[in-house]
């Protein structure tokens, strides 16, 4: 229990920081990819759609799981607070409130990671949809 007490915040923050870094990298990679995209490099709609939607699954996984990782940190923090309260034998409102407020920072950080990733995911998904339609239309016009 002492290990969790000392390192749970660090562990949760490192995991969420790593997720944020990967999400940022995926978004930048997609933006750069879209800027140099050339329709002529793709033979059919399926290959084009596969190429333009790459890394979107990673973003989806990050934005959907970051709040849960933050929540896990909060739950563990609350468990530690109640455990220490039980060991102390007396209930000090100040220590309870401080312990609970510190535990909630993990949930806040999880949301802080998830919300921008969700926004980026939706923006990129819209761009993918527009590009896919443009590719389809350009191929239909080429066939005519």
Tell me what pLDDT residue 63 has.
96
CA distances for 67 relative to 20, 43, 71, 122, 141, angstroms: 12, 40, 6, 17, 45
Residue 2 pLDDT > 90: no
As a whole number, mean pLDDT of residues 23-43 equals 95
Residue 32, pLDDT above cutoff 70: yes
Contact 12/73 with Cβ under 8 angstroms?
Answer: yes
d(CA 93, CA 134): 61
Total domain count, the chain: 1
Residues of the chain with pLDDT > 90: what percent?
67
Report which of 85, 121, 116, 111 is spatially closest to residue 12, judged by C-alpha positions: 111
Closest among 118, 83, 64 to 8, alpha carbons compared: 83
Tens digits of per-residue pLDDT, 86-137? 887 777 778 778 778 878 899 999 999 999 999 999 999 999 999 999 999 9
Q: Do 77 and 106 meet the contact criterion of CB atoms below 8 Å apart?
A: yes
Which residue segment(s) compose the domain that 25 sits in? 2-143
Spatial separation of the C-alpha atoms in residues 97 and 95, rounded to whole Å:
6
On the question of pLDDT at 16 being above 60, the answer is: yes
pLDDT (0 to 100) of residue 126: 97
In whole angstroms, what is the distance from residue 82 CA to residue 97 CA?
11
Helices (H) and strands (E) in the chain, counts: 4, 0
| pLDDT exceeds 90 at position 144 | no
């Amino acid at each position: 229990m002492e290990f969790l007490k000392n390192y749970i915040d660090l562990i949760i923050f490192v995991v969420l920081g790593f997720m944020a870094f990967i999400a940022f990298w995926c978004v930048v990679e997609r933006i750069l990819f879209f800027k140099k995209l050339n329709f002529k490099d793709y033979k059919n709609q399926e290959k084009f759609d596969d190429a333009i939607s790459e890394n979107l699954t990673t973003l989806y996984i990050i934005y959907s799981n970051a709040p849960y990782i933050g929540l896990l940190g909060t739950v563990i923090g609350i468990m530690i607070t109640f455990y220490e309260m039980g060991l102390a034998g007396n209930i000090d409102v100040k220590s309870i409130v401080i312990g609970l407020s510190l535990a909630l920072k993990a949930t806040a950080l999880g949301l802080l990671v998830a919300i921008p990733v969700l926004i980026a995911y939706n923006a990129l998904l819209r761009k993918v949809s527009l590009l896919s339609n443009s590719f389809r239309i350009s191929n239909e016009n080429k066939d005519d």
